[in-house]
Amino acid sequence: MIRTALGALLSHWRRRPGQLATLLIGLMLATALFSAVQAINTEARASYGRAAALFGGAPLDSLRAEGGVTLADYAALRRAGWRVSPVLEGDLRVTGQSLRLIGIDPLTAPALPSAIGAALTRAPTDILGTGAMAFTAPQTLATLEGAAGLPPLRAAEGIPPGRIIADIALAARLLGQPSGITRLVLAPEQPSNLPPIAEIAPGLTRETPEAGGDIARLTDSFHLNLTAFGLLSFAVGLFIVHGAIGLAFEQRRPMLRSLRALGVPLRSLIALLLAEIMTLALIAGALGVTLGYLVAGALLPDVAATLRGLYGAEVSGGLQFRPAWALGGLAVALGGAALASGSSLWRVAQMPLLSAAQPRAWARASGAALRRQALAGAALFALGLLASLALPSLTGGFALLAGLLIGAALILPMLLTAGLALGQSRAKAGLPQWLWADTRQQVPGLSLALMALLLALATTVGVGTMVSSFRLTFTGWLDQRLASELYVTARTEEEGAALRAFLAPRADAVLPIWSAPTRLNGRAAEVYGFADHPTYRDNWPILSGLPEMWDQVARGEAALVNEQLARRADLTLGQNLEILPGWSLPIAGIYSDYGNPEGQVMTSLTALAAQVPNLPRLRHGVRSNSPAALREALISDFGLPPDAITDQASIKAFSLGVFERTFTVTAALNVLTLGVAGFALLTAFLTLSSMRLPQLAPVWAQGITRRRLGQIELARSAALAGFTALLAIPLGLALAWVLLKVVNVAAFGWELPMFVFPLQWLLALGLAVLAALLAAWIPMRRLARTPPARFLQVFAHER
Amino acid sequence: MTQPLITASDLTKSFPAPGGAVQVLAGVSLTLERGETLALTGESGSGKSTLLHLLGALDAPDSGEITLDGKALGGLNEAARAKLRRQSVGLVFQQFNLIPSLDVAANIAFQARLAGRYDAAWATELAARLGLTELTHRYPEELSGGQQQRVAIGRALAGRPPVLLADEPTGSLDEATADDVLDLMLALVAETGAGLITVTHSERLAARFGRRLHLRRGQVT
The pLDDT value given to residue A2: 84
Domain boundary among A561, A596, A623: A623
In this prediction, residue A275 carries a pLDDT of 92
**CB-based contact B135:B147 (threshold 8 Å):** yes
pTM above 0.90, yes or no: no
Q: Look at A12 and B87 and tell me if their CB atoms are within 8 Å.
A: no
Sheet with B22-32, strands from edge to edge, namely B22-32, B6-15, B63-68, B71-72
B25 pairs with which residues across the strands? B13
Quick check: B97 and A11 CB within 8 A? no
Q: From the CA of B162, how many Å to the nearest CA of chain A?
A: 14
Residue-wise pLDDT for B16-40, tens only, equals 877 888 899 999 999 999 889 999 9
Of residues A238 and A548, the one with the higher pLDDT is A548
3-state secondary structure of A762: helix
Say whether pLDDT at A28 is over 70.
yes
pLDDT of residue B143: 87
CA dihedral sign of residues A667, A749, A561, A206: negative
User: Would you say residue A251 lies in a domain?
Assistant: yes
The pLDDT of residue A519: 81
Say whether both A178 and A111 belong to one domain.
yes
Instruction: Indicate the pLDDT class of residue A218, thresholds 50, 70 and 90.
Output: low
Nearest CA in chain A to B156: A262
Q: Which residues from A are below 8 Å from B106, CB to CB?
A: 7, 11
> Does A263 share its domain with A308?
yes
The widest CA-to-CA distance across chain B, in whole angstroms, is 54
| Three-class SS state of A165 | strand
- The percent of residues in chain A predicted with pLDDT above 70, rounded, is 85
| Residues belonging to chain B with any Cβ–Cβ distance to chain A shorter than 8 Å | 53, 56, 58-59, 78-79, 82-87, 89, 91, 93, 95, 97-102, 106, 110-111, 113-116, 139, 172
Measured between CA atoms, the residue of chain A closest to residue B159 is A262
Residue A426 lies in a domain: no
Q: Is the pLDDT of residue A315 over 50?
A: yes
A49 in the same domain as A64: no
Indicate the number of domains in chain A.
3
- Cα-based distances in Å from A766 to A375, A771, B197: 30, 8, 64
**The domain boundary residue, chosen from A211, A243, A263:** A211
Helix (H) or strand (E) holding A86: strand A84-94
Based on the fold, state whether residues A195 and A251 are members of the same structural domain.
no
A264 to chain B, any CB pair closer than 8 A? The answer is yes
Residue among B51, B99, B137, B147 with most chain A CBs within 10 A, to mutate: B99
H or E element that contains A431: helix A430-481
> pLDDT digits over B109-140, tens only?
888 888 888 999 999 998 998 889 999 999 88
For the beta carbon of residue B4, count every other beta carbon within 10 angstroms. Answer: 18
Cβ contacts of B17 within 8 Å, gap of 6 or more: none
The verdict on A33 and A120 lying in the same domain is no
Residue type at position A335: G
pLDDT at A114: 62
Residue A652 belongs to some domain of the structure: no
- CA–CA distance, B102 with B121 (Å, rounded to integer): 19
Q: How confident is the model at residue B10 (pLDDT cuts 50, 70, 90)?
A: very high
Q: Do A330 and A296 fall into the same domain? A: yes
pLDDT, position A212: 46
Q: How confident is the model at residue B1 (pLDDT cuts 50, 70, 90)?
A: low
Tell me if A93 is assigned to some domain.
Answer: yes
Are the C-beta atoms of residues A77 and A200 closer than 8 Å to each other? yes
DSSP symbol at A181: B
- Cβ contact A266–B78 (<8 Å): yes
Of B91, B102, B106, the CB nearest to A262: B91
**Is some CB atom of chain B closer than 8 A to the CB atom of A368?**
no
Q: What is the dihedral of CA A692, A693, A698, A701, to 10 degrees?
A: 140
CB contact under 8 Å between B86 and A262, yes or no, is: yes
Give the span between the Cα atoms of A621 and A792, in whole angstroms: 84
Together in a domain, A490 and A596: yes
User: Is residue A226 domain-resident?
Assistant: no
Quick one: A36 and A89 in the same domain?
A: no
d(CA A673, CA A239): 12
Which strands sit side by side in the sheet containing B195-199, from one edge to the other?
A: B89-92, B163-167, B195-199, B37-42, B211-216, B219-220
Distance CA A80, CA A517 (A): 29
Q: Is A613 within a domain?
A: yes
Phi/psi for A187 (5° steps) reads -65, 145
pLDDT band at A768 (very low <50, low <70, confident <90, very high): confident
Report the residue of chain B nearest A251, measured CA to CA.
B100
Say if residue B211's pLDDT is above 90. yes
Whole-number pLDDT of residue A309:
62
Same domain, yes or no: A44 and A58: no
Give the structural domain span for A548.
486-623
**pLDDT confidence band for A214 (50 / 70 / 90):** low
pLDDT digits (tens, 9 = 90+) for A513-547: 888 888 887 777 888 988 888 888 888 888 899 98
Same domain, yes or no: A43 and A135: no
Please give the pLDDT value at position B114. Answer: 84
* pLDDT tens readout for residues B53-91: 899 888 889 999 999 988 899 888 888 888 888 889 998
* Residue where one domain finishes, among candidates A353, A381, A407: A353
Q: B6 versus A192: which is more confidently predicted?
A: B6
Model confidence at A282, in pLDDT bands (50, 70, 90)?
Answer: very high
Contact B97, A258 (CB under 8 A): yes
Q: How confident is the model at residue A573 (pLDDT cuts 50, 70, 90)?
A: very high
| One domain for residues A87 and A11 | no
Q: How far is CA A423 from CA A137, A304, A418, A692, A725, in A?
A: 66, 52, 9, 22, 18
How many Cβ atoms are within 10 Å of A143's Cβ, its own excluded?
17
CA-closest candidate to residue A553, choices A590, A506, A513, A603: A603
**pLDDT > 80? residue A167:** yes
A114 with A195, same domain?
yes
3-state SS track over A219-279: HHHHHHHHHHHHHHHHHHHHHHHHHHHHHHHHHCHHHHHHHHHCCCCHHHHHHHHHHHHHH
Cα(A24)–Cα(A293) distance, integer angstroms: 17
Residue A662 reports pLDDT greater than 70: no
| A229 part of a folded domain | no
Q: List Cβ<8 Å contacts ≥24 apart for A650-654.
A: A651/A482, A651/A487, A652/A478, A652/A482
Nearest CA in chain B to A799: B172
Query: Does B85 contact A266 at a Cβ distance shorter than 8 Å?
Result: no
Residues of B in contact with A267 (CB under 8 A): 78-79
Q: Which has more pLDDT, A502 or A355?
A: A502
Residues of B in contact with A8 (CB under 8 A): 99, 101-102, 110
Whether A596 maps to a domain, the answer reads yes
The ipTM assigned to this model is 0.73
| pLDDT (average), residues A56-84 | 78
Judged against a pLDDT cut of 70, whether residue A50 lies above it is answered with no
